[in-house]
Amino acid sequence: MIILPTVAFGGTALLSMLISAESAYMDNPLRQNLFRAGHAHAGILLILSLIILRYIDETHYKERTKRWIRSGVPITAILLPVAFFFSVLNPDATEPNNLIYVAYVGFVILTLTLVVTGIGLIYYNKKNA
């Protein structure tokens, strides 16, 4: 819930860049694509965060592991947009800078979070069957 206003702000910022000719946003397809991807990933990952919260308590993990899983997707919802937005802050960028590699860190965290959650849910279902 804390991160959601940043997604709303990002949508408003994208809208203002689309409307304003001075932003030069429409002149850079790379920047358009990465900004759009950053905004979309943030929104979808926040929805996924809410879904995982629904299921994590059904696993038999220790509370510490559950806390890590609960924070995995929201952390990814921060890291991926950071990578997409900050790698092309310069309106004249023709390629992303090294901050784009933060997206890989987010991908690893997201993958681990989802795999551990899935394993916990499979184990829970087998135990309760």
CA distances from 25 to 6, 29, 30, 41, 97 (A): 20, 8, 10, 19, 17
Q: How far apart are CA 46 and CA 1, in angstroms?
A: 8
Q: Write the pLDDT tens digit of every residue in 13-54.
A: 778 777 887 777 788 899 889 988 998 898 899 899 989 988
> Mean pLDDT across the stretch 55-62?
89
Please say if the pLDDT value at position 99 is more than 80: yes
Quick check: 121 and 111 in contact, CB under 8 A?
Answer: no
**Which range of residues forms the domain containing residue 108?**
4-128
Q: Which two tokens stand for residue 73?
A: 């997707």
| Overall domain count for the chain | 1
